[in-house]
Amino acid sequence: MATQYMYYPGCSMDGTGKAYHDSIEAVLPALDIRLAELDDWNCCGATEYMGISPLRSQALVGRNLALAEQQKNGTDTLVAPCSACYVNLARTDAYVRESEELAANVNDALSAGGMSYTPGSVKVRHLLEIMIDDVGLNEIHQHVTRPLAGLKLAPYMGCLVSRPDYDDRWQHREHPHALDQLLLHLGADVVEYSRRTDCCGGHMTQISPDTGLELIRRLIVEAERSGAHALVTVCPMCQMNVDFYQREMNHRFHEDHHMPILFFTQLMGLAFGMPAKDLGFGREIISARPALANIGIEAPLTEEEEAERAAAARPKRRRRGDPTLPAPEPRADQEALR
């Protein structure tokens, strides 16, 4: 029996985030998950509506939550694949739970449209959380038929999944390893990417290209520095910014970067052995072909590489007279994904 969730795709799913849409359509059935799209949902307001009017923005989101409450069909989980949609839905739910006054105001507004929302009756979760918590890494690993070994990926989770984190689901809000672990379970080589939750620029590409393009540049430069073939994202807005504006960024800074950015679901599909064209590959502006070439050739490791790998796997012994100071143990809860 398929696990069912309510689904709030968000406005970009049909446009700029089409590849995300395609890959979700392909991958989720394989994991026996059914997403029931919320009927007649409206825009979440992105990062813009809060700045026009906080209360109207909450009412706007409130309508979606109210729809979800009406359309519950054995599940109270509303899944959002877009980080901005996710945070907007989660915020309104969190705020009406915390403030009776706000709940009353939002419901007052909703009543004008013949609707109402009971605070807390819908659980808003990001698609990544569903993958990590409900499906589970081991289960995902079971579906891998074409490990992505040789493909070096920079896990770029972006800002809004682990922050502000209204329900305290993330222990690590700046350096979570959830996406790293997921990609590792697909067999990919995951690079240590220190900008994993930095900002993609958000609306800055629209309102201040100086800053917006610089933020994109930092993400790309850092990914290159860490040796990644591609960035992996969980948000259509991040994808759009890094992908679409990369050329303009190159132009502005007189540089020549070519860093594709892919949705994590696309990579899941690839690892599950699905054909690339069903997963929205080719829709990206910065082509992923050079990156994918790395796994197109399933060459065995050279002797040197094997020796290197084996050396890396052996625990280091301290040489006599080695002055190196021991480094602190990594966080004990590092294995905890977030």
Partner 1 sequence: MTTPKTGVYVCHCGTNIAAVVDVEEVRDWAASELADKGVVVARDYPFMCSSLGQELIENDIKEYGLERVVVAACSPHMHEKTFREASSNAGLNPYLTELVSIREQVSWVHTDKAKATDKAKAVIAGGVYRVSEQEPLEPLIAPVNSATLIVGGGIAGITAALEIASAGYPVHIVEREPSIGGHMAQYDKTFPTLDCAACILTPKMVDAGAHPNITLHTWSEVVDVSGSVGDFKIKVKHKPRYVVEEDCTGCGICVDKCPVQVIDTGFESGIGYRKAIYTPFPQAVPKYPVLTPENCTYFAKGTCKACEKFCPVDCIDFTQTDEYVELNVGNILLATGFQPFDARRIEAYGYGRLPNVFTSMEFERMSNAAGPTGGKIVLRDGVTEPKSVVIVHCVGSRDKNTNEYCSAICCMQSLKFAHLVKEHTDADVYECYIDMRTPGKGYDEFYNRILDEGTQFIRGRVAEVTDSLRYPEEAGCEGRLMVQVEDTLAGVKRRVPADMVILSTGLEPQPDATEVARMFGVGCSSNGFIIERHAKLAPVATMTDGVFAAGATLGPRDIPTSVSNGAAAAATILSRIAQGEIAMEPYRATVDAERCSGCRICNDLCPFSAITFDEDAMVTEINPKLCQGCGVCVAACPANAISGSGFSHLQIMAQIDGLLSDTSGGAGRHAEEAVGATA
Partner 2 sequence: MIPADSRLETCIQCGTCGGSCPSYADMDHTPRQIFALIRAGARDKVLDSNTPWMCVSCYLCAVRCPQQIHIPDVMYALKAKATQEDRVPSHVAPDFSKTFVDYIHKYGRSFEVGLVAKHYLRHHMSRLPGMTTSGIGMVTKGRMGFRPHHIEGMDGLTAILDRATEIEQAKQRAVFEQPANEGAH
Candidates 43-51, 132-140, 242-250, 326-334: pick the segment binding partner 1 (CB under 8 A): 326-334
- Measured CA distances, 11 to 40, 237, 319, 332 (Å): 12, 11, 58, 40
For the chain, strand residue ranges (E) read 3-7, 33-37, 77-80, 123-126, 152-155, 189-190, 230-233, 261-263
By CB under 8 A, what part of segment 16-75 binds partner 1? none
Query: Of partner 1, partner 2, none, which one sits near residue 184, judging by CB under 5 to 8 A according to partner kind?
Result: none
Q: Which amino acid is at 204?
A: M
Partner whose footprint covers residue 172, from partner 2, partner 1, none (CB < 5 to 8 Å by kind): partner 1
Q: Does 221 bind partner 1 (CB under 8 A)?
A: yes
Which is closer to partner 1, CB of 322 or CB of 335?
322
Q: Could you tell me if 89 and 8 are in contact, meaning their C-beta atoms sit under 8 angstroms apart?
A: yes
Q: Which does 202 bind (CB under 5 to 8 A by kind): partner 2, partner 1, none?
A: partner 2
Q: Residue 211: what residue type? A: T
Residues numbered 126-165 forming contacts with partner 2, rule: CB under 8 A? 159-160, 163-165
At 51, which amino acid appears? G
Question: DSSP string spanning 51-85?
Answer: HH-HHHHHHHHHHHHHHHHHH-SS--EEEESSHHH
Rounded to the nearest whole angstrom, what is the least distance from the CB of residue 49 to partner 2 in the complex? 6
Q: Of 176 and 269, which has the nearer Cβ to partner 2?
A: 176
Q: Which of 208, 273, 301, 307 binds partner 2 (CB under 8 A)?
A: 208
Q: What are phi and psi of 326, to 5 degrees?
A: -65, 145
Residue 123 binding target from partner 2, partner 1, none, CB below 5 to 8 Å by type: none
Q: Determine phi and psi for 78, rounding to 5 degrees.
A: -110, 120
Q: Which does 3 bind (CB under 5 to 8 A by kind): partner 1, partner 2, none?
A: none
Which part of the chain contacts partner 1 (CB under 8 A), choosing from 66-74, 106-114, 217-225, 279-287?
217-225
* Residue 277 binds which of partner 1, partner 2, none (CB < 5-8 A, kind-dependent): none
Does the footprint of partner 2 cover residue 251 (CB under 8 A)?
yes
Does 61 participate in binding partner 2 (rule CB under 8 A)?
no
Q: Closest approach of Cβ 57 to partner 2, in Å?
A: 8
Select from 175, 151, 152, 150 the least CA-distant residue to 162.
Answer: 175
Coil, strand, or helix at residue 283? coil
In 18-53, which ranges are continuous DSSP H helix?
18-30, 49-52
Binding footprint of partner 1 on the chain (CB under 8 A): 172-175, 194-195, 218, 221-222, 225, 318, 322-331
